[in-house]
Amino acid sequence: MAITSRLKTTKAKLSKQEINKDIIKIAAIQMASGPQVSANLSEAERLIEIAANQGANLVVLPEYFAIMGLKETDKVAVREEVGKGPIQDFLSKIAKKHKIWLIGGSVPLVSNFPNKVRNSCLVYDDKGKQVARYDKIHLFGLDLGNEHYYEEKTIEAGSEVVVVKSPFGKIGLSICYDLRFPELYRAMGEVDIIVIPAAFTDTTGKAHWESLIRARAIENLSYVIAPAQGGYHISGRETHGNSMIVDPWGVMLDRLPRGSGVVMATMNPKYQESLRKSLPALKHRTIKVVSK
């Protein structure tokens, strides 16, 4: 799919809560989710609380944080209508409780097809209000050895590039396989943070995950928050983990190889601004991405 989609910039009504622009703490949550939504939400709540207690202002959950089913169609069975359902209620409640901005890596929402979902990244502000939604554009497909994945069978692709304005700057939203398509991030314009919640397979993760994450940070001079699924799942699937936060110079600030946990770092907007002034690569672009 060529990126000629309309760029959707969400202007959230920012809270009056004071944000210290020199000390913005950002966090990525790593999980090894299973087939039970309630159990996964309990684990997510535990990890979010750890991040919030450490002062996190922005917390990002991995792709499929609420369900990694025994089969791909399990997520269709628990899909939610827009704006209601236990997963969305959970995200709203927890964001409000801890007074954080919370990004639900992906939530299965209704689609135009009864046998498919929209794999949607949802953003909630510190009042618990949903302020942005991004539907995964690029759908993963793999035929490699004993591994076979066909996301198009259970997911309806999105078409809009989404950027949300927050107290921490502009945040560009993406999910997992999107990582391999740099034109998506170019279509976002200049963003301060890129989020890439994922459930990378261990095979492809070992080969490409870190390289691609650091590349997206460097070429966009952006902070990248990449929370991932990490470990063995009841379905037999193994995910790569290695959730990480990378700064605009490509430096890894924190990472977690495997298992449930929290990755934390401090975002420094002044440092990012100085890098963009010293190396204004974003202003040197001569090939433009066309957006409607």
Residue 210 known to be catalytic: no
The residue to which tokens 């995910």 are assigned: 239
Rounded to whole angstroms, how far apart are CA atoms 258 and 240? 7
Give the residue from 182, 170, 189 showing the smallest Cα distance to 212. 182
Strand ranges inside 79-175, DSSP E: 101-110, 117-124, 130-135, 141-144, 147-150, 161-166, 169-173
Residue 121 known to be catalytic: no
Q: Could you say which of 80, 151, 156, 176 is catalytic? A: 176
Rounded to whole angstroms, how far apart are CA atoms 241 and 188? 26
Rounded to whole angstroms, how far apart are CA atoms 123 and 178? 18
Residue 136 known to be catalytic: yes
Strand ranges inside the chain, DSSP E: 7-11, 24-30, 58-60, 101-110, 117-124, 130-135, 141-144, 147-150, 161-166, 169-173, 193-195, 223-226, 230-232, 238-240, 243-246, 252-256, 261-267
241: its two tokens? 């983990």
Rounded to whole angstroms, how far apart are CA atoms 228 and 226? 6
Work out whether strand 58-60 and strand 223-226 pair parallel, antiparallel, or are unpaired.
unpaired
Q: Could you say which of 25, 75, 116, 136 is catalytic? A: 136
Rounded to whole angstroms, how far apart are CA atoms 106 and 288? 29
Q: Could you say which of 25, 63, 80, 151 is catalytic? A: 63
Residues marked as catalytic:
63, 136, 176
